[in-house]
């Protein structure tokens, strides 16, 4: 199974926010860290906000932050809200014309594989991804951004 670019960057947005949990993150900063357009990230943000994975704060000093603790956001949660289809083969589609669709061993094996994929994603969280790299803040340029901001 291949995840979409949208899912990949949704996870990256969440990782950025988790690594930067002491302050609001801004889309321009996240876009610069990952070398992608702000417009692309704004598009990805919508399903994350709608499903409570991210919260937005409006205004001049606004930004985004995690909607719940990083250890409560599984990778499956992200995939579930960002992927449109989990059809691994034509027979997974609702309009299939295969006469074996309900009794095919291939269909059954693929469903089992897909469920295993989901189960593994459900065991890992955004917090796990950030914890894997103690230097995550530095990799994303967060520390440099914090150093440049004037004291409050």
Q: What is the pLDDT of residue 89?
A: 63
pLDDT tens, N- to C-terminus, the chain (152 residues): 688 999 999 999 999 999 998 889 999 999 999 999 999 999 999 999 999 999 999 988 889 999 999 999 999 999 999 998 776 666 666 666 666 666 778 777 888 988 999 999 999 999 999 987 878 888 888 876 655 554 44
Q: What is the pLDDT of residue 127?
A: 95
| C-beta pairs of 22-25 under 8 Å, 24+ apart in sequence | 23/63, 23/146, 24/57, 24/61, 24/62, 24/63, 24/64, 24/65, 25/63, 25/64, 25/65
- CA-CA distance, 95 to 77, in Å (whole number)? 27
Show the tokens assigned to 120: 């593994």
Question: What single string gives the DSSP state of each residue in 42-75?
Answer: HHHHHHHHHTTSEEEE-STT-EEEESS-GGG-BH
- CA-CA distance, 89 to 106, in Å (whole number)? 9
């Amino acid at each position: 199974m291949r995840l979409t670019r949208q899912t990949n960057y949704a996870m990256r947005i969440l990782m950025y926010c988790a690594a930067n949990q002491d302050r609001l993150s801004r889309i321009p900063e996240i876009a610069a860290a990952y070398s992608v357009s702000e417009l692309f990230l704004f598009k990805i943000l919508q399903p994350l906000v709608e499903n409570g994975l991210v919260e937005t704060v409006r205004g001049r000093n606004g930004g985004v932050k995690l909607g719940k603790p990083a250890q409560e956001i599984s990778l499956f949660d992200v995939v579930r809200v960002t992927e449109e289809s989990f059809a691994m083969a034509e027979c997974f589609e609702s309009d299939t014309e295969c006469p074996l669709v309900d009794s095919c061993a291939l269909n059954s094996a693929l469903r089992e594989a897909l469920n295993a994929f989901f189960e593994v994603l459900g065991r890992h969280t955004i917090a796990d991804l950030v914890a894997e790299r103690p230097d995550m803040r530095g990799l994303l340029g967060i520390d440099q951004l914090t150093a440049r901001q004037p004291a409050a």
